[in-house]
Structure 1
Amino acid sequence: MATRLVQINMKAHDDTALGRFWAEALGWGVDSEGPGVTNLEPVGFSYPDPVAVCVDIIARPEPKTVKNRVHLDLATTSAAHQAELVARLKDLGATLADVGQGDVPWTVMADPEGNEFCVLEPREIYRDTGPVAAVVVDCADPREMARFWDAAIDWKLHQVTDDQATLRSAQGVGPYLEFIRTPDTKSGWNRVHLDVAPYTGDDPAAEAARLRALGATSPSYDASAISWTILADPEGNEFCLLSPRGTA
């Protein structure tokens, strides 16, 4: 058995407005909207497909108080494209952000609700990822995160060092999943987190047990009103194990 990374979950005060921003930013469409929930995916996308990691925006009243531990890196193809994308994102409501990055070739920004993201300078490794180059997770120990996530999902481990671990879908398509060593410590619930799903026909309860055996834990949370399982990786980052949907 194995799970697959299918989307990131992002909390927002106004999911509809933030959904419009990210749809325009990525050139994606709004797949569905409901009270307090906006789902984004590429136009013509058939869920689930590793060619993209979708975005699920959920309305929550709690304010953002600390830097997110999960963020998106956006890909560009040239210096001109990077500058044009930064300018376009500013027009959409994004702002420049300082997270202590210093003098770097990428541009750190924040969306209209303050969620950090990066517009990268052109890099050959991201030439075929689509608009999202990578989903990036801050961590204390990339090697331990690589051990867990390499076993948890059916993605291929490409690199692991003391400072960074990188995975990508076994099909070699879509964005990378990167774990970057940072000095920050986790504080409170993550407003942005990963969502994974079993393959069609797999037993979600058995998959949850497998993930716990790998080192996942069950955060204290009232799950009586939800149909999915909330877990946390070895560094306490929450993630959701969704029900299977779509084709394998």
Structure 2
Amino acid sequence: MTAAPGRAPQRVSGGEPSLARFKDLCLDAVDPHALGDFWARILGGDLVDLRDGDTRVDGRPGPESIWVNRVPEPRTGKTRAHLDLRMDRPDPAGLLAAGARLLREPDDEVAWWVLADPDGNEFCAFAPRPDTAPGPFGSTPGPFELVVDARDATAQATWWAGVLGGRVDHDGDGAASVVGAAGFPWEYWVFAPVPEPKSVKNRLHWDVDLTGDDCTALLDAGATLLREPDDDIDWWILTDPEGNEFCAFAPQR
């Protein structure tokens, strides 16, 4: 079931979301305990065993933020969504000691380190700044932006700003960022331009809480429905106009 792709949802005034509120991140893993432990250690969070094979990384203090879900298949292909971390020291030695793998050092093109977690999921680490405030986990290193690859960065940012509220900013490299989205816990939600389309399932996806009783408004805005609530799940699984999976939850009554 697909609505007209690319049509931005109607925005409402006052900075409130028109259709949904950002809820949290979910990360696929063959071993959720091992991968959850890595992220809990580097973020200074608490690892919660959910007793169903999955884990969750909770901030200290802060909202539950990253769910680590068991899947049978290993990671294949490039991760199209990743976190950028602001470190509490000028190099990633602590991240490497915790089990990260170095993929790229700063050079003439980038001013940050590119690393991979134990499952091979890429993330970026930036040196600290004097004006950097602790992230939602209460300490640094901590996330300050979520980055998503996009064929059309402006269209993607505009679509999500319409869903969640906020404004769209642009930089000189073609990236577009959503700032001030409802419920979004980090400074920026960046859509970075890439030439290739999405070809495999994202290992990292986000959940949203709906403001309405179902996902009809999202479908009308251009989302695609992959799965409805059933005996196994009580949420909708959808994709945005570029095929990024996300889950939508009905309001708690």
TM-score bracket for the superposition, by shorter chain length = 0.7 to 0.9
| Superposed displacement of residue 26, structure 1 | 0.8
Counterpart pick for 1:186 among 162, 181, 198:
198
Asked if 2 retains the 8 angstrom alpha-carbon contact of 1:128 and 1:173, the reply is no
Identity of aligned residues (%): 35
Tell me the amino acid that sits aligned with residue 170 of structure 2: V
Does 1:68 find its partner at 2:79? yes
| TM-score normalised according to structure 1 size | 0.81
Cα distance in 1, alignment partners of residues 45 and 200 from structure 2: 30
Tell me the amino acid that sits aligned with residue 20 of structure 1: D
Does 1:157 find its partner at 2:192? no
Does 1:203 find its partner at 2:209? no
User: What is aligned with 2:14?
Assistant: none
CA root-mean-square deviation: 2.6
Counterpart pick for 1:127 among 127, 132, 155:
132
Asked if 2 retains the 8 angstrom alpha-carbon contact of 1:129 and 1:173, the reply is no
| Superposed displacement of residue 98, structure 1 | 4.9
Q: Give matches, 1:1-150, under 5 Å.
A: 1-46=18-63, 54-76=65-87, 81-83=89-91, 86-98=92-104, 103-122=109-128, 127-128=132-133, 130=135, 131-150=142-161
Cα distance in 1, alignment partners of residues 161 and 41 from structure 2: 32
| Superposed displacement of residue 223, structure 1 | 5.4
User: What is aligned with 1:226?
Assistant: 233
Q: Give secondary structure in 2 for the equivalent of 1:23.
A: helix
- Distance change in 2, residues 1:143/1:12 (3 Å): same
Asked if 2 retains the 8 angstrom alpha-carbon contact of 1:151 and 1:214, the reply is no
- Distance change in 2, residues 1:22/1:150 (3 Å): same
Q: Give secondary structure in 2 for the equivalent of 1:204.
A: coil
Cα distance in 1, alignment partners of residues 108 and 121 from structure 2: 19
Tell me the amino acid that sits aligned with residue 128 of structure 1: A
User: What is aligned with 1:50?
Assistant: none
| Structure 1: runs of 5+ lacking an equivalent | 48-53
User: What is aligned with 1:176?
Assistant: 188
Cα distance in 1, alignment partners of residues 205 and 101 from structure 2: 22
- Distance change in 2, residues 1:173/1:38 (3 Å): closer
Tell me the amino acid that sits aligned with residue 177 of structure 1: W
| Superposed displacement of residue 188, structure 1 | 1.8
Tell me the amino acid that sits aligned with residue 213 of structure 2: P
Cα distance in 2, alignment partners of residues 29 and 245 from structure 1: 25
Q: Give secondary structure in 2 for the equivalent of 1:97.
A: strand
Cα distance in 1, alignment partners of residues 125 and 221 from structure 2: 34
Cα distance in 1, alignment partners of residues 198 and 116 from structure 2: 19
Cα distance in 2, alignment partners of residues 96 and 8 from structure 1: 23
| Superposed displacement of residue 40, structure 1 | 1.2
More helix, by proportion? 1
| Superposed displacement of residue 15, structure 1 | 0.2
